[in-house]
Chain A
Amino acid sequence: MLSNKLLKPGLYSVGSSDGAGPTARLMGGRCRCGYVFFPMQTYGCERCGSHGDALTPCELSAHGTLLAEATVHLHADKNRPAPFTIVKVALDDGPVIRTLLADGSAPVAPGQRVAGTLAAVGQTESGETVLDLRFSVAS
């Protein structure tokens, strides 16, 4: 794992490893009022307005249920060459997130169980593998 580097280390961390690669833990937050959100922030709670110490980090499972998917055929940003697929996932821990489906994942449909893993998306100049969160069908 020493040769791996997370693309967005403020948003997720490496959990235990399974056959498909390292699973992810999402770095969310919980308010004193009970509201769970992603990503972690201390600006203030969207539900009740509490801020600062009322908001504490809370690791979220990357397991959830697919709400929707869309394969993007046209995308102006050349850093994201189409096609790619976006998934909307209701995490088991509460928040709804949207991100990319893993390249080579089996097709997904609403209602299906999905899980986030950390997938290799490139290399740094010093040869480290860059990992980013991708969802695929839960094993």
Chain B
Amino acid sequence: MTRSLNELRPVYVVGIGWHRYQNPSETPYVELGLTAIRAALADARIEWPAVESTYVATALLGMASGRPMLRHLGATGAPLMHVENASASGSTAFRHACIEVASGISDVALAIGVDKRNPVRRPDTGLGNLAEDAIVPFTHFALLTNEYAVRHNASTDDIALVAVKNHRNGAKNPNAQRQQERTLDEVLGGKRVSGSLTSLQCTPIGEGAAAVIVASEDGIRRLGIDAGRAIRTTASVGRSERVYPPGAGFDAALTQETADLALAQAKLAPKDLDIIELHDAFTVEELHYIESIGLCPEGHGVRMLKDGALDIGGQCAINPSGGLIAMGHPIGPTGIGQIGEIVMQLRGEAGPRQHGGARIGLAHMVGVGAVCYVHILQR
């Protein structure tokens, strides 16, 4: 018989840390990663030798980038592995760190995401294609924007309001790549990218690092970690794309089935969620995914957005970190940074962007392929 994460022993996030997401720079990845790991160790108030296993999420650094970074923490001989799962690399690393602790193999594990912007190399499957070289991610989502707008009679200006909200949240986040509030006119007036998407509706290219330390109750006790600041992971689900009915958007369909499984695992309903960090690389995605997760019926996302229901302080704060649009999307770190943001919010330590009374948060990532990962954290 198989078991889900929350049927194993409880696993808690006990330490979080970042190197700020930023524009591409000369800073070596080693420095980005070490900054985030040392911040997470300091947050948990533990020392590096307590970490029994490390999952390094990175998509763009090249083979075996982990050990040349981790050795500067003191070479303990603990196991490490690299996780590449496109945009969901960090979420996948977090899932496997949780599984390792929940299974009892380790008491303390680290998930560290680190990346610098390098050319993306896609595998050659040996199959031809009509024009895939002309369809980069922003064009994939420009097509979805056009479909969403027509199907739900939504204006593309309204869809752009997602960016206004997320830039507003990012302006309050010292770890965000973009920390500037933007008006709708600024968002719409920016450089046109593809379809109705403008540059401020698209995630920026960047670099950075995020780290999360997870621990068992035994580990928390043994190391004297403050249990009052530990946040439990109550669901973890990973899925990959199936064959959906012709014309159905796989991004939304895959998110729906993954989120449904995660909510069932945690025995929660969508209305129970206080916070969602989701994959808003492009504005339309946020509407698709809140509908797929079940916050509202399909096509009603714009109404919630305009009512302020998705704001910090609203019914359910979506992307209080600023999301991929404002906080940024350095690939490997992104899914781990989402977990860190939710932990900060559930602890009540999010300062000016605190969503009052937050008790339950959901983290969602998709990655090309497509894969989808959803985690639920609870205070």
Binding site for B on A (CB under 8 A): 8, 10-11, 35, 39, 41, 43, 46-47, 67-77, 79-80, 84, 86, 88, 90, 94-100, 109-111, 133
Contacts and interface: CB of A to CB of B under 8 A. Distances in A.
A100 B134 CA distance: 8
A88 B74 CA distance: 53
Contacts of A100: 130-131, 134
B61 interface: no
Interface of B: 127-136, 138-139, 142-147, 150-151, 191-195, 243, 246-247
Nearest to A79: B133
Nearest to B142: A70
Contacts of A111: 150
Contacts of B136: 75-76
Contacts of B131: 86, 98-100
Nearest to A77: B133
B127 A96 contact: no
A68 B143 contact: yes
| Majority-rule SS of A interface residues | loop
Q: Kindly name the residue among B127, B131, B142 whose own CB sees the greatest number of chain A CB atoms within 10 A.
A: B131
A110 B130 contact: no
Contacts of A80: 133-134
Given A8-B128, A96-B247, A98-B143, A110 B150 contact: yes
Contacts of A79: 133
Contact of A90 (B130, B145, B246): B246
28 contacts: A11-B130, A43-B127, A46-B243, A67-B247, A68-B146, A68-B147, A68-B150, A70-B142, A70-B145, A70-B146, A71-B195, A73-B192, A73-B193, A74-B191, A76-B136, A77-B134, A79-B133, A80-B133, A86-B131, A86-B135, A90-B246, A94-B246, A95-B246, A96-B246, A97-B130, A98-B130, A100-B134, A111-B150
Contacts of B145: 70
A70 B127 contact: no
